[in-house]
Structure 1
Amino acid sequence: MRASFIHRSVGSVVVLVGAWISAVAPIGIGSDGLVRFETLDTLLRHETLDRGRYSLVGPVLATPLWYLGEALGAPAETVWMFNRIVFLAGGGGLWFVLRPILSPRERPRFAALLLFGSMFPWHVMGFFAEVFHVVCVGAGLALLATRRGWRAWLGAALCAVGTANVPASAVGLGSAACVLVWYERRLRYFAVPALAAALIVLENYLRRGDPLDGGYVTEAGNRTVLPYSGLPDFSYPFFFGLLSILFSFGKGLVFFAPGLFARYPEEGPRGAQEDRARLVYRTWVAVVLGLVLVYSRWWAWYGGAVWGPRFFLFAALPASLVLARWTARAETRSTWANVFVLLAVALSCWVGVNGIVFQGYGMERYWANEFEFEYLTWYVPECSALWLPFVVHKALVWQDYARLAAFALGFMYLAGPVVRVLALRACEGCVRVWRSALLGPRWRV
C-alpha cells in the first residue's frame, strides 16, 4: 500500500511538471501556422472568408484568444497559446476517459510519455492543425470504444470535427470506423466518417464554391535534384513515400515514435476492460495506418520545412500507450524485452526534449535557394533534426537547462522500473557466474 501511494505521488508530480513545461513552452510563430492565423485574422477583422487551403474548423475555436490578444495589442501571441491549451485539456480528458481501462500504474505513465516522450512538446509551440486533430479524434475514438449513450455521441462529434480540421485524415478515421464496426458488429460507426466528410464538403462549398475543391489544386513542391520533386498532388511513388515515412532519419516514425513498432503487451486474463483497452489501441493504430497510406503519395509527405514528421503526430497516442504498458510491469517482461523498451523510452524522451529545446536549430541552412538541399534533413543522419544538435551546437539559456532537467526527471520516472529490473537481473547473473566459478569444477591450466 505504501509503495503504491509513493508511486502515485511521484507519477502525479512528474505529470504536473510536464504540464507546466508545456504551458510555458516558447511561442514559435511562423510557417503554415502563420497562414492559419492570417486566415482567422481576416475572418474576424474584415468578416471575410478567404479561399485558403487550410481548414478553419480548428482556428475558429481560437476566436476568444484572438479577441483577448486584440485587447492586449498582440493577437498572434495569444492565438499561439491555442495548441497547448487544447493539448493540456485533451490530456486531462483522456486521463478520465481511459481511467476505467488502464491501471493506476499505467495512467500516469501514459500521460508522462505524451508530455515528455512524444512529438507533442514541439507541436504545442506552434499553430499547426495536428494538435487539434489528434486530441479530438484520439479522445473521440476512446469514447466510442469505451462508452455508450451521449458520451459515444460526443466521441463521434469530436472525431468529425477533428478530422474536418485535417481533411486528409478522413481515410484514417474511416479505417478506425472499420475497426469499430468489425469488433462491435454495428454498422452505425460508419456514420462517423460520413459526418466528417459532410463537414469537409460544407467548408469547401462555403469558402470556394465547390464541394470538392480542397484548395490544393495549384500546390506543388520546388524542383530540386530529387527525381520526383516539383510534381503536384499525389504524385510521389507510394513505395518510396512509405519507406521514407517509416525509416528516413529525419522524418521516420521508427525514430520519432518507436513505441509504435512495439507489440501491444498482454496483461493477464482477457476481460471487458482489457478488451476495451485493446480496442482503443487498435482504433488509434488504424488512424495512423490511414495517415501513412494517404501521405505516402503526397508530394510533401515530409510535412514541409519543419522539425520532424509533422503529419504523423497521431502516432504519439498508440506509441505512448504501448510503452506505458510495457514499463508499468517491467518485472514481468523478459530481459531482452526490457532492454528494447529502455532504448525506446530513451529515444522517445530525446524526441520530446529535442523538439522543445533545440527546435531544429541549424536546419535553416538546408532551406536556402528554394529548399535546394532540404532533402539532406530527411535522409542524412547528421543533418536530421534528432542528431543535428550534436553537429551544430546551440547556445543554451537557463530556460533550456530547466527544460533539460525536467525531461531528465520524466525519463527517470519512465525508465526507472526497467532499469531497476535490469540491474537486479544483472546482479543475479553476476552472482550465479561467481558461484559457478567458485563451486564448480577445479580450474586447471
Structure 2
Amino acid sequence: MTVVASEPPARDPEKLRPPAPPGRRWGRLPAVFETALIVAGLAAFVFVLRHSALGDAVLRYDTLRQLLDDGTLTDNRYTIVGHLFAVPLLLAARLLGQDQQQWATMYNSLLFAVAIGVLYLLLRRRLPAALLRRFFLVLIAASMFAAHVVQFNAEPFTALAVAVGLVAIAVRGRSLAGWAAVALGVANTAATLVPLAFVVARRMWEDRRLRYALAGVAAVAVLVADNWVRRGSPLETGYSGTSGYRTVMPYSGRLDFSYPIFFGLLSVCLSFGKGLLFFTPGLMLPVRASMRRLPLRDGTTLYRLYGWWLLFTVGLVVVYAPWWSWYGGLTWGPRFMLFVSVPASLALAVRLWEPAEALWSRALTLAVLTLSAWVGLCAAVFAAETPPACVVDHFANEALCHYTPEFSALWYPFVADLPVTRRDIVMIIYCGLVYCYLAAPLVRSLGADVARRSRRPLAEGLRGWRW
C-alpha cells in the first residue's frame, strides 16, 4: 500500500475502456441493467433492511430528541455532529405522526444513497461509466455497509463524509466543500483525527502548502465546541477512564488505550471475527497500474485518491489497535473500520472492470469477489444474529466472536440454523444476482483459459489407454 509522490501523465478514460468480449456487445443493455441494480439496491437499503436502534444508537437518538424537545443537550460521551443532519427527518416524522426513532434508524441508509448520488455527480465525467457502476454495486452488495446503515450510529457518516470529501478534493483541487465534509466527518468521530493528520500531511507534502492544516484545525474546533457545550470543558470527551469487562483475555478490563499494540494490530487485521483481511479483502488486489492510467484532473489520477484513502485506513488501524475496545463492542464486523470498505470496493471494481491477463490474478479477483459478496450478504441478512455464547456472563466469552471461525460473523451462519425472513430472502436474491452478474465474465474467461491449457496435457495423459 505505497503512495507515490509523482503521477504519470494521465490519459483520456474513454480511451482506456477494455474491449467488449464477444457476446457482450449489447449496446446500452448492460448499462441499463447495472443502473437498475444500483437503484434497486439503494431502495432495498431503505425499505427492505431491518432497521433498529441498539446500544449507543439509542443514546444518540435520545440526545437529538431532547434537543428538539427542549433545546438542551445531554452530557453523554457520544457526539452528534453527523446526526444533526437527521433533524429534518425527525421533524418530518413528527409532522406526519410517525415513530421518530424508527425514522431515525433509516437516516444512515438515506445518507448512503445521497453519498452514492454525490459520488456519481463528482466522478461521472472523470471515470469510465462501467467502472463507476461496478464500484457502486460492490459498495451496495459486497461490502460491510449493509450491516451498519441500519443503526443510528456515527460510523456511516464519518466514512461517507471523509470518502466523498476526498473525492471532491481529488476532482476539483482545492475544494472548500470537500475539506468541510472531511472536517465534519472527522469531528463526528474524534479518534479519526489521527487518520486525518496522515492525509493532511500527505497533501501538504504533495502541494507544498500549509493551508491544508486548516482542515484539522476546523475538526478540532468542532470537537472542542461540542465538549465545552455538553460537558463544560473543552478537553472533556467523556471517554477518559472507560474500560470493558474483565474476562479470560489477559489484557481485558484495562482503561483507555492500554491494549498491547502488537496484539491490536494482529487482531484488527487478521482476526476471524473482526479482521480486515476477511471483511475488506479487496485491499489485497494489485491495482496501482490500472488506477494510475485513470485521470481525475490534471496531475491527479485515481491512484492518488486511492492513496489518500489508504493513508486514512492506516491511520484508523494505528489509532484503534491500542484501544481496549478495538473490536467495536457487540457489533457486526469491524465497526470502526467501516471506511475501509470504500477503498476495498474501489480496488475490486477496478479489477472487475479491467481484468488482468495473468490467470492467477483473475483467479484472485474471483476469490476476492466471492468473499466480498459473502460479506455483503451476511451484512444484509445475518448482522443482527449474535452467538449467545459470546454475551452470557457479562461477555465473559465475547472473544469467541472475535477470534474463532465458528463464532465469527462471517462463518456463524454455517454453524447455527439462523432464521431467515421474507425481507432476508429479498436481500439474498439481490446479493446473489449482483454476484453472479459480476462474476460471470471472470468465470467464463477462467474456464476458457483452463480448458485451453489443460487440453494438451489431458490428451497426452490419456494417450495409450485401452479398455
Q: What is the TM-score when the length of structure 2 is the normalising length? A: 0.90
Among 130, 137, 150, which residue is 1:125 paired with?
150
**TM superposition shift of 1:90:** 0.3
1:189 & 1:283 partners in 2: Cα distance? 14
Describe the SS at the equivalent of 2:132.
helix
Matched with 1:79 is 104
Is 1:399 aligned with 2:423? yes
Is 1:379 aligned with 2:403? yes
Alignment of 1:24-423 (within 5 A): 24=47, 25-71=49-95, 72-148=97-173, 152-267=175-290, 270=293, 272-273=295-296, 275-330=300-355, 332-423=356-447
Moved >6 Å (runs of 4+): none
The aligned length equals 439
Q: Contact 1:366–1:372 at 8 Å: present in 2 too? A: yes
Matched with 1:8 is 31
**TM superposition shift of 1:393:** 1.0
**TM superposition shift of 1:84:** 0.5
Q: Contact 1:360–1:385 at 8 Å: present in 2 too? A: no
Higher helix share: 1
Q: Contact 1:11–1:413 at 8 Å: present in 2 too? A: no
2:123 & 2:216 partners in 1: Cα distance? 23
**TM superposition shift of 1:48:** 1.4
2:457 & 2:36 partners in 1: Cα distance? 40
Runs of at least 5 residues in structure 2 that lack an aligned partner in the other structure: 1-19
Which amino acid is the alignment partner of residue 367 of structure 2?
L
**TM superposition shift of 1:443:** 4.7
1:268 & 1:282 partners in 2: Cα distance? 10
1:61 & 1:269 partners in 2: Cα distance? 36
Q: Contact 1:101–1:276 at 8 Å: present in 2 too? A: no
2:122 & 2:98 partners in 1: Cα distance? 38
CA offset digits 1:261-318 (Å, max 9, x no partner): 3222412974744842111101111111111100001110000011110000000110
1:333 & 1:3 partners in 2: Cα distance? 23
Describe the SS at the equivalent of 2:249.
coil
Runs of at least 5 residues in structure 1 that lack an aligned partner in the other structure: none
1:141 & 1:417 partners in 2: Cα distance? 31
Which amino acid is the alignment partner of residue 170 of structure 2?
A
CA offset digits 1:191-236 (Å, max 9, x no partner): 2122111111111111112111111123111111111111111011
Which amino acid is the alignment partner of residue 400 of structure 2?
L
Q: Contact 1:32–1:128 at 8 Å: present in 2 too? A: yes
CA offset digits 1:355-402 (Å, max 9, x no partner): 121114142441122111111000110011111111111121222111
Which amino acid is the alignment partner of residue 270 of structure 2?
F
Which amino acid is the alignment partner of residue 455 of structure 2?
V
CA offset digits 1:155-190 (Å, max 9, x no partner): 011011111111111111111112222333333222
Q: Contact 2:127–2:294 at 8 Å: present in 1 too? A: no
Q: Kindly report the root-mean-square deviation, in angstroms, between the aligned alpha carbons of the 2 structures.
A: 2.0
2:365 & 2:31 partners in 1: Cα distance? 22
2:341 & 2:106 partners in 1: Cα distance? 21
Q: Contact 2:264–2:321 at 8 Å: present in 1 too? A: yes
Q: Contact 1:145–1:180 at 8 Å: present in 2 too? A: no
**TM superposition shift of 1:116:** 0.5
Q: Contact 1:18–1:406 at 8 Å: present in 2 too? A: yes
Q: Contact 1:346–1:411 at 8 Å: present in 2 too? A: yes
Which amino acid is the alignment partner of residue 203 of structure 1?
D
Alignment of 1:420-439 (within 5 A): 420-433=444-457
Change (3 A) 1:177 1:396: same
Which amino acid is the alignment partner of residue 235 of structure 1?
S
Q: What is the TM-score when the length of structure 1 is the normalising length? A: 0.94
Equivalent pairs: percent with the same residue? Answer: 36
Deviates more, 1:385-394 or 1:259-268: 259-268
Q: Contact 1:14–1:410 at 8 Å: present in 2 too? A: yes
Which amino acid is the alignment partner of residue 326 of structure 2?
W
